[in-house]
Structure 1
Amino acid sequence: MTTPGPRLEEITPADLDAALGIRVRPDQEHAVAPVVKSLAEAYVHHGVTWHPGPDGPERFYLGLGFCPNGETSGGETVGVLELDGDPAGAPR
């Protein structure tokens, strides 16, 4: 059996609780923000943030199509992703 690769899914009211229940392994907690923080940042920045550096998740996010938009938040890089034909980083 093959494990599927990472993918992005829209969070809806119907699956919000399930999304908030997602956890990473304890050895990954230093590198991954809790889902609730990531959802809040995505709402505010129309994207994601990540810690820069060789051990950070930048390569992962770039591989999903996120692009740094030149902003930082709390010392983290802000990356945006074009969805549904909207320009990346467009205000909501």
Structure 2
Amino acid sequence: MPPSLEPITPDNVDAACRIKVSTEQDDYVAPVPHSLAEAYASYRTAWPRLIMDGDQAVGFVMGGFDPEAEVDFFRCGIWRLNVDARHQGAGYGRFAVEALIDEARRRGSKRVTVMWKQGEHGPENFYLKLGFTPTGEEFHGQVVGELFID
């Protein structure tokens, strides 16, 4: 059975909050409870999803969709990606990014953005392998990357 993305609900919010990246990655991505608070505060534009493998929560992804955003890289993008340390390297991150890209297409977007902190344990190589390229912009010390989609 392939992985799936599930909306965050009262039934799975505890499982989402238990998602933990490796200790080396803590400085590169906000913990899921912080992301869920941000999603609550940005409920009109946030798209939080639990990455499931069968009945097991293996990760969390949150997109943002706001075609009217003043800052162009906030119009359609990946806000967070947390794959539990025990499940990294199994393709769940790639699956989540591809699913978010599918959602962007469904909404009529032609460009998906992501921001990352650079560093030894950061996600830069992951996003570059998926085809994202740096725009040359930085935001709060993070590289802004983009991927054009059909």
Structure 2 equivalent of residue 66 of structure 1: 132
Give me the whole-angstrom Cα distance separating, in 1, the residues matched to 2:141 and 2:75.
Answer: 14
Mapping 1:1-92, distance limit 5 Å: 15-17=6-8, 21=16, 23-25=19-21, 27=23, 28-34=25-31, 36=35, 39=62, 42-43=64-65, 44=74, 46=76, 47-83=113-149, 85=150
Q: Distance in 2 between matches of 1:24 and 1:81?
A: 27
Higher-Rg member (1/2): 2
Q: Within 2, Cα distance between the matches of 1:78 and 1:45?
A: 13
Structure with more of its chain in strand, by fraction: 2
- Measured on the aligned residues, the alpha-carbon RMSD in Å equals 3.5
TM-score by length of 2: 0.36
Structure 2: tracts of 5 or more residues without a match: 39-60, 66-73, 77-112
Q: What TM-score do the two structures reach when normalised by structure 1?
A: 0.54
Q: Deviations over 1:1-40 (max 9, x none)?
A: xxx9xxxx8x7xxx3317x727233513222234636746
Report the number of matched residues: 73
**Cα distance change of structure 1 residues 72 and 82 upon mapping to structure 2, 3 Å threshold:** same
Letter in 1 for 2:29: V
Distance apart, 1:48 and its partner CA = 1.0
The whole-number CA distance in structure 1 between the counterparts of 2:22 and 2:122 is 16
